[in-house]
Amino acid sequence: MSTSRRRFLKASAFAAMFAAVPLTDTLAKTWKANYVEDPQDDALSNYSKATFESYLQSIFQLHATSGIVEVTLVEVGDLPGSSGGECFSLQFRGGSQPLKQGSYQLDHAALGSFSLLLVPSGPDSNGAQGYVATINRLSYADALNNPPPQRIRH
């Protein structure tokens, strides 16, 4: 029995369509597992400026590619923020080798583990490297009034 080109293309199209359905579902689950964070899993979302102020001069373990670097929280500063929101900075000191700007996991005995974007601020007079993190939170009302950015389609 010979198969015509038309019959072959039809069969191929149906096979591709049915094969894509489980793949789409699998990709969606993978994306959600890897990229959609559960706010309950984000310890940092529960910490306010006052929380960090109570841990001034305490040691955090910063996970870098070169290993763990112990840094000390030396300052919690005020920054202007939206009304009802919260904006502050965290200044860390520690380590003798400078690290690049990037997101790093920090561990603390009482606060647990969380990630912060750290920006190098240069060494002090003793050679200890400095890093700054900025926390800027909108109020719930501001978050509702600011729609998410739209993807531009070309």
**Average pLDDT score, the chain:** 81
Q: What is the pLDDT of residue 5?
A: 73
pLDDT band at 33 (very low <50, low <70, confident <90, very high): low
In the predicted structure, residue 70 carries a pLDDT above the cut 60 = yes
Query: Quick one: pLDDT band at residue 15, thresholds 50, 70, 90?
Result: low
For tokens 């960090």, name the residue: 52
Average pLDDT over residues 18-38: 51
Dihedrals phi, psi of 64, to nearest 5 degrees: -115, 165
Are 71 and 96 contacting, i.e. CB atoms less than 8 angstroms apart?
A: no
Per the structure block, which two tokens stand in for 133? 């993190």
- The confidence score (pLDDT) of residue 81 equals 74
User: Of 96, 61, 95, 59, which Cα lies nearest the Cα of 74?
Assistant: 59
With cut-offs at 50, 70 and 90, classify the pLDDT of residue 36: very low
> In which region does residue 139 sit, left (phi positive, over 0), alpha (psi from -120 to 50) or beta (all else)?
beta
Secondary structure class of 123 (helix, strand, coil): strand
Spatial CA neighbour of 48 closest among 92, 18, 85, 94: 85
Report whether pLDDT(92) > 90: yes
